Structure 1
Amino acid sequence: MQPNLMINDAEWDKLISDVAYYFEDLTLKRGFQYYKQNRVRSFRMISSRRVMAVVEGREDYAVSMELDSLTDSHCDCPVQGPCKHMAAVLMSVAESQERSVNMLANAKAVIDRKKAEALEAAAAAGVSGGRREQAKELAGLIPGATVEEWRNYMALLTAPLAQTVRNPHYAERALSAIAQAKADLPPGAELLFQLNAHLFILESLITPSGSHNAGSLSSFGYSLGYYTAIAVSELQEAITSLMKRSLPLASEPEAWPRLKDTLAHVQLEMLTESRDRLREQPYFSFCYDQLWQRWIAPNASDPALYLEELEALRERAGGLGAAVNRSALLLAESRMYFYLSDDKAAWERLAAASERPGLHPDELLGCLEPLAEAGHWSRLAAWLETTGPLLSSRLYNLHRYAGYWEEVVRRLPETEPRMWDTLSAMLPLSGDIYEGKLLDHGKWREWMDYQLSSGKEPSDFRVSDLQPVEKNAPELLLPFYHQAAERFVLEKNRHSYKAAVKLLKRLAKLYKKMKREERWAEFLDAFTGRHSRLRALQEELRKGKLIP
């Protein structure tokens, strides 16, 4: 983003304060859900203080946000004042500024937290000397401890917070408590310790009983509260950030045992995790995928590692019996076959997993990013062909999937027909990206055929949406406008007559652009004559200066 469009720290703090003051907490919650569902489209920062976007709701709503004065902002929706569409756009502002989206979504709690900082600081200063001594003692044990022992130490360090409400502030305090036992660890071990600390706190957030026994999440069809969900989301962001850092296993091979112990713990939680959250990937499934993609696969030169994991998955599943989630098992096996370059076996397991409920689309598309990063375009095309038709959720934004197709076609132009075949087979789910790509590739007739077959009307589009077709193939719009105008007239009411005249004026411009004014004059004479008895229509034609 251009430097002159960046929001400085003072402006960011003021925005949080203003959001907390003007928006209801429930409105922020709903706006955050809209943001997470990728409903914000056409996002543009006009300046560092003004933002425009379109938000998908019951229909598309145009939103204009004035960051210096939120009361001067506007949304086309029926709500008077701050609404969830405005809130969703503000979340996108935070993302574009690389600021914490969750902090903005939780603005009221953030402000309350700042007010309580003095009390918290006093409470922290009152930590007993005995607990400080315990933290110091544990710090001496951490360098030689196993992952299981680390987790036991973390339980001791966070025990005073056991009755604390599970929210973002709890997560911060728990991480701070674990940091009291700061140990001198090599870089690889330090990363693994930090990962396990975040996973430990993640479990304490999503496990109502507070138990940290592996596999304890399986029995809970538990719905998180709003503030707990915010904390979980922040932890996932932190875990993703941690795993983007390189794990130096080549120079620190002694870190492998701890890495494998961490994997075994995550594997068990992943296989027994509840999968009833349709809007986001299950927590430990996400961690499991990231662990392999970021840390293990880049350091694995021997395919035996993937074969060992396949065996471990099946052995663990056999021991869990009915407690194992079959979707999670199939997805994990698919990823191992992917790393073994056995794509057929990987696809078979993905197809079987896609038939089960509770599957998040990101889990079907998780192998696309590694292929794109490695530049394996031919293989990526095959994966796009196979995985796209497995998607069945309308809640998913397919623009990232479409972006991979663009990358493939740009490098391998001969794959373009395969892209069109795949996207057309995915209709109507792929409708938005299919339409967009038809326009991007100048397939004007195909685009118009799709609109007509979908029963679309010109009123379904903004004028700017139709400008590319109007500029490059105006003749295709003639039947589109003609048919719609006639349908409006048949409704026989003043509103529909106005809409018909509006379309006729657009038709007049098209005929003039095509230098077919005589044909337009003939049509207009026939049209007015055919509907001469409709006085209201004749009045609207005169108002529109189409007839004298």
Structure 2
Amino acid sequence: MSSSPVLNDDQWLKLLEYIAETYNEVTLSRGFTYFKQQRVATLSISEARVVQARVEESEDYSVTLHLDKLRASQCTCPVQTSCKHLAAVWMELADRLGYPASQIMNAKLHLKRASSISSSESALMQLPKMDVTGWQQFLDNYTSSVKPTYDQGNYVDLLRHQLQNFKKIFIPFSDTDRIFFDMYQELFILRKIKAQYAQGSVNYYTSSTLYRNYDEFHNWLKQKPAIINLSNSGERMEQTLNYLNQQMAGESGHSYQDYGVYTVLWKYWIAPDSEADHFVSKELDIIEKMINDKPSPSLSAAKAFLYLQQSKSREAWEALEANGSFKEAPAKLFIPFLNHLYDTQNWEELVFWLRRSSTFFNTKRTKELDAYTEYWKKAIQHFPQAEEHMWQVLEELLPHSFRVIEELLYEQGKWKPWLEMQILQGHDPLYHRIRVLQPIEKETPKLLLPYYHQAVDHYVSLKNRHDYKSAVRLLKRLEKVYKKMKQTEQWENFFSGFMERHSRLRALQEELRKGKLLG
């Protein structure tokens, strides 16, 4: 027999076309059952490419397949052509030649999928010539079979699985365009999730998936910029900025999610490039026109951000204020502005923005409030005269800033007000790990005396053995503080007075002996 394959891929597709045209689904299903039951007892292939087989049933039937003249194939059963016996032999032959027998049974469906894939592959070859609008339309069509699900995380996984097919096909992209196309796949997924969000079918899983994917995309953007050169990719970047502008114009309320993407793209992809100034001027004109046509909080924020790229800090603030709903803006809006002023080491303007934006951070403690506090700390390192303003602002943000103030006082070693805050909260030395109080004990142990004395009196006043034990623990630590201060005599005077006052508390006396404070 010839060493060439019995069937090549082209011949296989022609066989499937023949099967789809001449066999009905019932016959193919019965043939598949016979194939699985291994009723094809014998099968041989001649040099003339004729297949002879025997199918076992209540009566055995002989089947002849003509691979070069498919329609001449026949069976000795009463049906003779297009029967279940022929179908079973076709499937057995396919299996022996390494082709899926299931494709014979589902010939019509397989041909439809193959046609769709072929069409998609043809469209894929055109992607390098398309603009980003064409890319988005293509992605819509390519994933049209993926339907939204209640579980948005699962929906995203299904979309990503469909898009993974791109990696199996060579698309003649330039290195730069390949990165941009990868970016647009991420933007596409975000758009699909947002569409679900906008339709009102929103729950915890929808919103958390949306925010998580935006965060992941931010990280993706931060990892890719070094490869991009605006002199070679200026057109793609302009198309991308235009796409983001349209997305920002459509953002409702104060979500600022696409604005967040916009700022990350500027910081990591555009600002470091020598062509950045050209993009800023051009973008300002475009956004200004868009705002005149249809005001948008996100576009106003983008305009302010661009002013900041031109080192126009005050103009940037005015651009934000010009938006009618500015007072409703969330704290997260200001983080990119503060971050830019920090990166450019514009300390005086950073303090200006911190003071003007303070009211927007007057909410329960969040990561934004923590970030806001960190910018104050960084600004003061380089602009010490701003510290007075920081304390004033943090006092205005009480009670939300209570923990922030407490941490700052501790970090700066301002022990007296820090201890006063502990007493105000009803804390005592046992509330803290020992290492927390060690710096105070080392630098100004005297400040700890009221803290310890008040706590000892409190535990003794509760008059139960458990609290007596706590009082003894504090007394032992208090003794060390007095020794640290080299005031052993004062400790002995205090302790003798303490014993005299509480001499009738037998349980306390026992605990003092156990703690080796009494002989």
TM-score range, shorter chain: 0.5 to 0.7
Please give the per-residue CA displacement for 1:176-206, whole angstroms capped at 9, x wherever unaligned.
Answer: 1455665333344333322221111122234
Residues 16-66 of structure 1: CA distance to partner in whole angstroms, max 9, x if unpaired?
Answer: xxxxxxxxxxxxxxxxxxxxxxxxxxxxxxxxxxxxxxxxxxxxxxxxxxx
Q: Distance in 2 between matches of 1:384 and 1:187?
A: 41
Letter in 2 for 1:240: N
1:143 aligns with 2:128: yes
**Residue number among 360, 363, 366 corresponding to 1:393 in the alignment:** 363
Would the aligned equivalents of 2:230 and 2:270 in 1 still touch at CA under 8 Å? no
Decide whether aligned partners of structure 1 residues 354 and 198 sit closer, same or farther in structure 2, where only a CA change above 3 A counts. Answer: same
2:241 match: 260
Select the structure with the greater relative contact order (CA < 8 A; seq sep ≥ 6): 1
Amino acid at match of 1:223: N
Match of 1:458 among 405, 422, 429: 429
Contact residue 394 and residue 401 of structure 2 kept, 8 A: yes
Distance 1:284 1:145 in 2: 23
Distance (Å, rounded) in 2 between the aligned partners of 1:274 and 1:422 = 24
CA distance in 1, matches of 2:165, 2:112: 11
Structure 1 distance, partners of 2:291, 2:132, is 23
What does residue range 101-116 of structure 1 map to in structure 2 within 5 Å?
none
Deviates more, 1:497-506 or 1:375-384: 375-384
Q: Deviations over 1:419-467 (max 9, x none)?
A: 4444444444333443333333332223223333444332332111111
1:255-312 deviations in Å (ceiling 9; x for gaps): 244123322333234x22684xxxxxx6434323323433345543155335325424
Shift of the 457–547 alpha-carbon distance from structure 1 to 2, 3 Å rule, reads same
Which of 164, 169, 177 aligns to 1:189? It is 177
Q: Which residue of 1 aligns with 2:267?
A: 293
Match of 1:380 in 2: 350
From the superposition, tell whether residues 256 and 453 of structure 1 become closer, same or farther in structure 2 (CA, over 3 Å): same
Query: What does residue 34 of structure 1 align with?
Result: none
**Structure 1 match to 2:513:** 542
**Alignment length (residue pairs):** 401
**Which residue of structure 1 lines up, in the alignment, with residue 328 of structure 2?**
356
Distance 1:514-1:163 versus aligned 2 partners, 3 A rule = closer
Structure 1 stretches of 5 or more lacking a match? 1-121, 209-216, 276-281, 319-323
Task: Give the structure 1 partner of residue 186 of structure 2.
Answer: 198
Q: Note closer, same or farther for the CA distance 1:127–1:273 as it changes in structure 2 (3 Å cut).
A: farther
Aligned to 2:281: 304
Counterpart contact for 1:178–1:197, Cα < 8 Å = no
Q: 2:496 aligns with which of 525, 533, 536?
A: 525
TM-aligned CA distance change 1:396 to 1:417, over 3 Å: same
Relative distance call for 1:450 and 1:133 in structure 2 (3 A) is same
Verify the 8 A CA contact 2:270 2:276 in the aligned structure 1: yes
CA contact (8 A) 1:219 1:274 kept: no
Deviation at 1:350, TM superposition (A): 5.9
**What is the 5 A alignment of 1:86-105?**
none
1:223 aligned residue: 203
- 8 Å contact 1:266–1:288 — kept in the other structure? no
Name the Cα RMSD after superposition.
3.5
Match of 2:220 among 241, 265, 282: 241
List runs of 5+ in structure 2 lacking aligned partners: 1-102, 104-109
Counterpart Cα distance in 1 of 2:337 and 2:294: 23
Shift of residue 468, structure 1, vs aligned partner: 1.0
User: Quick one: distance in 2 between partners of 1:444 and 1:390?
Assistant: 30
Corresponding residue of 2:482? 511
Quote the offset at 1:154 in angstroms: 0.5
Identity %: 29
Aligned counterparts of 1:274 and 1:412: Cα–Cα separation in 2: 32
> Given that residues 214 and 257 in structure 2 are in contact (C-alpha distance below 8 angstroms), is that contact kept between their aligned partners in structure 1?
no
Tell me what 2:340 maps to. Answer: 370
Corresponding residue for residue 58 of structure 2? none
In structure 2, what is the equivalent of residue 338 of structure 1?
308
Cα distance between partner residues in 1 of 2:164 and 2:309: 37
Does structure 2 retain, via aligned residues, the 8 Å contact 1:309–1:336? no
Q: Which amino acid aligns with 1:290?
A: V
Equivalent in the alignment of 1:38: none
- Contact 1:240–1:290 (CA under 8 A) maintained in structure 2: no
Distance 2:164 2:328 in 1: 40
> What residue identity is the alignment partner of 2:328?
R
Separation in 2, partners of 1:272, 1:523: 67
Matching residue of 2:140: 155
User: How far apart, in 2, do the equivalents of 1:353 and 1:265 lie?
Assistant: 20
Contact 1:157 / 1:178 at 8 angstroms: preserved in 2?
Answer: no
- After TM superposition, the score normalised by the length of structure 2 is 0.67
Kindly indicate whether the alpha-carbon contact (under 8 Å) linking 2:132 and 2:239 is maintained by their aligned counterparts in 1: yes
Displacement after TM superposition at 1:474 (Å)? 0.7
The structure with the largest alpha-carbon Rg is: 2
* Alpha-carbon distance, 1:221 to partner: 6.7
* 8 Å CA contact 1:158, 1:177 repeated in 2: no
How far residue 313 of structure 1 moved from its aligned partner, in angstroms, is 4.5
Report the TM-score, using the length of structure 1 for normalisation.
Answer: 0.64
Distance 1:432 1:127 in 2: 64
Task: Mark the CA change 1:353 to 1:470 in structure 2 (over 3 Å): closer, same or farther.
Answer: farther
- CA distance in 1 between partners of 2:370 and 2:407 (Å): 10
